Structure 1
Amino acid sequence: MQTDHENEPRLIVETGLDRRVADIIEPVLISMGFRLVRVRLMNQNGLTLQIMTERNDGTMTVQDCEEVSMAISPVLDVEDPVDKAYHLEVSSPGIDRPMVRVSDFERWQGHIVKCETSVLVENRKRFRGKIVAVTKDDFTLERDQIAYGEEPRVTVPFSALAEAKLILTDDLIRDALKADKLAREAANQNDGEDE
């Protein structure tokens, strides 16, 4: 099952002020060929507005961060959603990234994720395990920590997902570096064809 990564909606979206910022900047990011991963206003270095984003192919360079920052700063200045002084931080999702789209679960199938649901799923709200299957509606984990009497596999509906994040492992680092290298090679080939 392949999804249209460019227009794929996020499963997990912000609320309150973070949501207002996301609504302001997301059209700018999309027009530039980026996808919004997360917006978070944090009390760090005074006040920090963290924008996590990536290209549609999953890559994100330092230059991309600068380009996004320069594009969204004026828009945020005009709309002025945050009524205090803040520091803007644009970053990639990183290797141990938040999982916010169905395609994130497809791409990182076979890796360990930690997630929390908004409702009880099999009498729990917190799960950790390897992603072993993904459909458009849910994903299945092979749990690495189970209590007596619990099933080793749990299927979590995307509609119940509150938060999910990849867990840093040697396998994840290796696969992330390999995926990044392949994406960069593909991007370089496409640049060569444009000339």
Structure 2
Amino acid sequence: MANASHGGNTAATVWNLCEPVAAELHLDLWDVRFLKEGASWYLRIFIDKEGGVSLDDCEAFSRAIDPVLDEADPIAQSYCLEVSSPGIERELTRPAHFEACMGETVYLRLIRPLEGRREFKGTLTGFEGGVIELTDEQGGVLRFSQKDTALCRLVDDYFGG
């Protein structure tokens, strides 16, 4: 049995196992999360592709990754495997996410308030060295350290939201 710890190390190990499987199925690996919710552990794998993923894509990936995970056995405890799309309002967590979403509208929430505010919305105009750059509706440029953010996700403006 592999000696994997919870959270980040497990997610990184699973990411390495998933990446070639996703590529083989012409999918992009968006994120891997290993989380405890209540008494249960969840391994959530988010896949993507140009034009979006279908239920069939999720099922095909799940079937393909299941034997790989069984053989590698990177997780000691029992868990529930969930494979899904990151969604329209996907969370941005990795440098590649920020690079892929340049020019898009994002919502950002800070861990601690900055000048009385924790929530910001703007156009993603930069990401370098762990610093997220947004341009707000007034044209002001705002910079936030990624380590100070609780959440950064795309905003679906389809209905003006």
What TM-score does the superposition give when structure 2 sets the normalisation length?
A: 0.71
SS of the residue 2:34 aligns to: strand
Question: Which of 73, 79, 90 in structure 2 is aligned with 1:80?
Answer: 73
Aligned position for 2:152: 164
Contact in 1 for aligned 2:126/2:134 (Cα 8 Å) = no
Question: Which of 100, 111, 124 in structure 1 is aligned with 2:105?
Answer: 111
Unaligned runs of 5+ in 2: 1-6
1:62 deviates by 0.3
1:20 deviates by 1.2
Distance 1:135 1:85, change over 3 A: closer
1:54 deviates by 0.6
Aligned partners of 1:110, 1:43: CA distance in 2, in Å? 31
Residue 38 (structure 1) aligned with residue 47 (structure 2): no
Matched residues, number: 145
1:25 deviates by 1.2
What TM-score does the superposition give when structure 1 sets the normalisation length?
A: 0.60
4+ residue stretches of structure 1 with deviation over 3 A? Answer: 134-140, 167-173
Distance 1:115 1:26, change over 3 A: farther
Aligned position for 1:71: 64
Aligned partners of 2:86, 2:126: CA distance in 1, in Å? 21
Root mean square deviation, CA, Å: 3.4
Letter in 1 for 2:44: Q
SS of the residue 1:33 aligns to: coil
- Richer in helix (by share): 1
Larger displacement relative to structure 2 (77-86 or 39-48): 39-48
